[in-house]
Amino acid sequence: MDDQSDFRRGVSRTETRGPTPGTLLILRLGLIVGLLTALGPLPAVGAWRVTPIRVELDARTRSATVTVLNEGDEPLYLQMKTFEWTQDAEGNDQYKETDDLIFFPKIMEVPPNDARLLRVGLKAPAVAKERTYRLFLEEIPAPRKAEGAQVAIAVRFGLPIFVKPVKEEAEGVLENVTLSNGQLNVAIRNMGNTHFFVESISVQGKDANGQAIYTQDVQGWYLLSGAARTFTVKVPAEVCSKLNRMDLRVKTDRFELKGGLDVQASMCATPMAPATDRGPTNPVPSPSPAQALPLPALAPPSVLTFIQSGRLDEAVRWSLERLRQWVGPGWLLQVEIACQSKTVVEDAPKLRPAERIYLLPRMVGGRSCYTLAYGIFRSPAEAWQIFTQSVDATALDLASSPVLLSVDDALRRSRGSGPGFQKKDFRP
């Protein structure tokens, strides 16, 4: 058995596929949380997934089959609906229920550790411009016996369905690049008749000598035909004031765009000038040691900073220390388990805000791996709510929902697995 199969169940992403355009950043995860009460035992979150994670139809391929796999120990109940998927003037996704697609069944029961087929097809033929839809598969929580207070959690997946035009023409332009008050705005417009995916926007700032002094990568999103979206990057004031030039590269799943602008001082946020003393010029006595003002506390180290600099062992140590200092009930969401440091470096920046990122050690089949987690929260309901509001799960290429862990469970699973306990067993 390979390393991947050792932890496929209950893990949000496996490394069985690389970040290729056909597989990366496709699956939108919607988590619908119903809070019955904040206390009591928590029922297991459904461990199920679908394959493939996107569907493409055209004049020759008018139907497709989707497999739903239930990897849990209880029956899975799902209901399905189709929505037309468009984007507004700001590039935000809009959904409207539609009957343009034929699908069967509309309600499905999948026995434990089993699979069922879902069929979807076109009513109308392909046209000159791509049509886009999402087929939502929503879990129906099974009725449970009253055994104290519980939290009911349902998972919903939005399966992208692309109806290709007769002839695909992919084209995008950098419509506008501006810098104002230290904020870089990058406007991208889809001029073609088919969608493309903005995988990343890489920004590099140079000083007057041409030396690179600032770099930043921003994760993108789908851009449907005819739509435009503005991505923003906040440049620190102390860096912006030193910049002379900013270059950027937009990488999509179909092509690349390049652009930039010359930086002027007026484009950066102007620091507040110190107040001028217009009073008497009497010297101000230096404070005595007893009167000395305390120095401001240093900002705590960032797990994300450690990860981005390749210091994963330090990221683990700091994460474990934060967990040990937590007082009272606490919950984390296990986003993924990764046995390659490259996966952690790629995926950690996709979690926002950075202060909620945790990197924990995990042994998988005798191999030292990592758990990328998100937390800490006071209740399971708070965990799901903040995750769905703050994190774009599609950017993580999730194949199933995150797994809920208590702080105690996270520490217990980490024992003997990483640098916080035995450094010799930890191999980034």
183-190 vs 172-180, strand pairing mode:
antiparallel
pLDDT tens-place string over residues 121-140: 998 877 889 999 999 998 88
Token pair listed for 361: 């050690």
400 and 363: one domain? yes
pLDDT tens-place string over residues 179-221: 999 999 999 999 999 999 998 899 999 999 999 999 988 878 8
Cβ atoms of 371 and 407 within 8 Å: the answer is no
What are the φ/ψ torsions at residue 142 (nearest 5 degrees)?
A: -70, 145
pLDDT tens-place string over residues 330-348: 889 888 888 888 888 888 8
Q: Is residue 285 included in any domain, yes or no?
A: no
386, 392, 397, 402: CA torsion to nearest 10: 0
346 and 375: one domain? yes
42 and 162: one domain? yes
> Among 57-61, 79-83, 190-194, 351-355, where is mean pLDDT lowest?
351-355
- Does residue 40 come out as left (phi exceeding 0), alpha (psi in the -120 to 50 range) or beta? left
Residue ranges making up the domain that contains 315: 302-428
Per-residue confidence band for 165, with pLDDT thresholds at 50, 70 and 90? very high
414 and 309: one domain? yes
Helix, strand or coil, per DSSP, at residue 155: strand
DSSP, res 100: S
Q: Is residue 179 included in any domain, yes or no?
A: yes
124 and 242: one domain? no
Helix, strand or coil, per DSSP, at residue 126: coil
Q: Is residue 397 included in any domain, yes or no?
A: yes
Q: Is residue 125 included in any domain, yes or no?
A: yes
Q: Is residue 275 included in any domain, yes or no?
A: no
Q: Is residue 350 included in any domain, yes or no?
A: yes
pLDDT at 399 over 80: no
Cβ atoms of 123 and 187 within 8 Å: the answer is no
**Percent of the residues in the chain that have a pLDDT greater than 70, as a whole number:** 73
More confident residue, 263 or 32: 263
pLDDT at 48 over 80: yes
240 and 350: one domain? no
* Domain boundary, last residue among 137, 167, 197: 167
14: buried, middle or exposed (CB in 10 Å: 19+, 13-18, 0-12)? buried
Structural domains counted in the chain: 3
Cβ atoms of 360 and 418 within 8 Å: the answer is yes
Cα gap 156→179, rounded to integer Å: 38
Compute the average pLDDT of residues 67-93: 90
pLDDT at 314 over 60: yes
For the chain, first and last CA: distance in Å? 22
417 and 306: one domain? yes
313 and 240: one domain? no
Write the CATH number for 398: 3.30.70
112 and 231: one domain? no
